[in-house]
Structure 1
Amino acid sequence: MNNAPHHCLSLLTSCKTLKILKQIHASLVKTGHHSDPFFAGKLILHSAVTVPGALHYARRFFLNFPIPDVFMYNTLIRGFSESGIPQNSIFTFIDMCGKSLVPPDSFSFAFVLKAAANHGSLRTGIQLHCQALIHGFETHLFVGVVM
């Protein structure tokens, strides 16, 4: 059994630079694990949320992934919501709802509602709030805290 992918995961937890992140990504490509949703999701998580200045790298990787799952969408939405460009979080959420086969979950709504607040878009926030209610997420703790 090849332990390289698991070694990459342990390296990701301590990764602090884009240069190291790219090396870890290259190692995952070399072992063929870059297309595994679990490893891809972890790579997106660390590049979107943990490693400073790597959000663009997460987005590029995400856009090239064949079929992103809900974790990948949520991670990118979260990354944008915490960045200086929260409107990209809203655009990613819209793509998730319209173009993907992945329905949003309570985390999706929590992150995109935060993005609407950070963007200062009251109208978008109200629309998203209504969608969260329609989908029955008002009772979910993670969404309720943001609302």
Structure 2
Amino acid sequence: MQKITTFLWYDDQAEAAAALYTSLFPNSRVTGVTRYGEAGPGEPGSVMTVEFELDGRPYAALNGGPEFTFTEALSLQVECDDQREVDELWAKLTADGGQEGPCGWLKDRFGLSWQITPRVLLDLIGDRDRAKSDRVMAAMLRMQKIDIQQLLDAARG
């Protein structure tokens, strides 16, 4: 059976990124580290790849150098149960140089984009009542970090 793994390219911060990410989510861990040998292209003995799991899903991070950087074209979406979870992940992922973005998006200090999305937002935007859905969408578009109470207030009109 084939296995699909998200593969992330870092300049030289793969190990630090994996450590941060695995500290944030349950059922997460580093599963392997490979190092560059004499053949390079990295410094012999330095970390080449880090394999890790986030909530049981496989990821790999490569220290590939500065040739490529992340864009918002790729993001990791995290569905959150409540405002406490939104606030905690937002604070930890924007810490130490991360950047807040619009509509629940942010970039962590490594440049990777995340969508910190309360489940209720997805439910409200998908509501069959188009007027309610539109009010919630309009409210969300004015936010950076998502505020669940403001979404619920918008839904009520």
* Normalised TM-score (structure 2): 0.28
Q: Which has the higher contact order (CA 8 A, sep 6+)?
A: 2
Name whichever structure is richer in helix by fraction: 1
* Normalised TM-score (structure 1): 0.29
